[in-house]
């Protein structure tokens, strides 16, 4: 695939393990001109990445800040966007750890705003600059379709996001622009580690919620490393168990990497996927299509 002469925008880079960064690197490796957007709080980490890729440009772009988004997208006047990747999500920790009936309107609204509605906000700012046959890609998760104890109300935000993909596909179809989601299996990233860390404050993980593969993994890691272990180390150790457990339940018994997701993004961003829109493409080794208990 050759993306030379194409402009690719990737929002949601936090550090080198971010799915967004793997996608940005993949397009860059295939000749695209790449811009990344990041939250200011991650600037020091992102700056280190940009130093390695002198021709990748970065600018802060908080999806809850209209002025920041305007400033980010204004630069594309005269340089139309071919691929726009939205790899942005956030929910307050209690939406993961507390049962759905305990969710406050404020926490629910924040998760929906950043993890779902922001796709529409980003499209609103980017729309004047999207090239015909362009491609908008977002990131979802299988907990949009089936309730997973550890994912809590974030699953509701992902369900909204997937529905929004279909409605935005309808809106942008008039411009011959596609909108799709990639739904990957679990990958160790800052956001994913943050979910596990939210549970570390709980004394009894098994009692906190009904049994869940990821919570069991966290429980195992905490017992292995001890109650006083560094939370990041504990969550990271748990991730190895999580990926192993998911792989054992998948048709292809392998873990998913950010590079696997990037490969799918390259396809969806390419002319080979011109007639694919409004879809959720799963990159999960067949986890969602099989039932191995």
Q: How buried is 150 (Cβ within 10 angstroms: 0-12 exposed, 13-18 middle, 19+ buried)?
A: buried
| Residue 284 sits in the site that holds ligand NAD (CB under 6 A) | no
| Residue 32 sits in the site that holds ligand NAD (CB under 6 A) | no
Tell me which residues in 258-277 interact with ligand NAD (CB under 6 A).
none
**Least distance in Å: CB of 41 to ligand NAD?**
7
- Residue 156 half-sphere exposure toward CB, CA atoms < 13 A: 16
Which residue number, 139 or 234, has a Cβ lying nearer to ligand NAD? 139
| Residue 87 sits in the site that holds ligand NAD (CB under 6 A) | yes
- Cβ neighbors of 215 (< 8 A, separation 6 or more) are 149, 150, 199, 205, 206, 208, 209
- Find, among 127, 114, 125, 124, the residue nearest to 88 by Cα: 114
| Residue 186 sits in the site that holds ligand NAD (CB under 6 A) | yes
Q: Which stretch binds ligand NAD (CB under 6 A): 13-21, 25-33, 124-132, 266-274?
A: 13-21
| Residue 141 sits in the site that holds ligand NAD (CB under 6 A) | yes
| Residue 152 sits in the site that holds ligand NAD (CB under 6 A) | no
Copy the structure tokens of residue 161: 């996001």
| Residue 89 sits in the site that holds ligand NAD (CB under 6 A) | yes
Total residues found in the chain within this entry: 293
**Least distance in Å: CB of 88 to ligand NAD?**
4
| Residue 47 sits in the site that holds ligand NAD (CB under 6 A) | no
Which residue number, 31 or 53, has a Cβ lying nearer to ligand NAD? 53
Among 49, 130, 192, 198, interactor with ligand NAD by CB under 6 A: 192
With b meaning 16 or more CB within 10 Å and e meaning fewer, what string describes 175-212? eebbbbbbbbbbbbbebbbbbbbbbbebeebeebbeeb
Angle (nearest 5°) at CA 187 between 52 and 158: 110
Residues lying near ligand NAD in the complex (CB under 6 A) are found at 12-14, 18-20, 39, 42, 62-64, 87-90, 114, 139, 141, 184, 186-187, 189-192
């Amino acid at each position: 695939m050759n993306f030379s002469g194409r402009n690719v925008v990737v929002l949601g880079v936090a550090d080198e393990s971010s799915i967004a960064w793997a996608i940005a690197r993949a397009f860059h490796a295939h000749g695209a001109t790449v811009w990344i957007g990041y939250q200011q709080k991650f600037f020091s980490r992102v700056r280190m990445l940009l130093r390695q890729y002198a021709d990748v440009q970065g600018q802060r772009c908080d999806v809850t800040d209209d002025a920041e988004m305007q400033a980010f997208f204004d630069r594309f006047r005269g340089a139309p966007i071919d691929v726009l990747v939205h790899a942005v999500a956030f929910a307050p920790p209690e939406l993961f750890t507390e049962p759905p009936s305990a969710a406050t309107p404020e926490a629910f609204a924040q998760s929906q705003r950043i993890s779902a509605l922001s796709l529409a906000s980003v499209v609103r700012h980017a729309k004047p600059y999207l090239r015909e046959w362009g491609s908008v890609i977002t990131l979802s998760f299988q907990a949009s379709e089936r309730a997973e104890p550890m994912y809590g109300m974030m699953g509701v935000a992902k369900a909204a996001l997937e529905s929004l993909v279909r409605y935005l596909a309808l809106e942008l179809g008039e411009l011959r622009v596609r909108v799709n989601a990639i739904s990957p299996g679990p990958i160790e990233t800052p956001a994913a580690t943050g979910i596990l860390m939210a549970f570390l404050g709980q004394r009894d993980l098994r009692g906190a919620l009904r049994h869940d593969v990821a919570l069991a993994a966290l429980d195992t890691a905490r017992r292995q490393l001890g109650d006083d272990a560094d939370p990041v180390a504990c969550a990271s150790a748990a991730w190895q168990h999580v990926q192993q457990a998911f792989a054992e339940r998948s048709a292809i018994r392998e873990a998913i990497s950010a590079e696997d997701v990037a490969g799918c993004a390259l396809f969806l961003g390419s002319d080979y996927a011109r007639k694919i829109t409004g879809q959720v493409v799963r990159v999960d080794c067949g986890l969602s299509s099989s039932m191995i208990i």
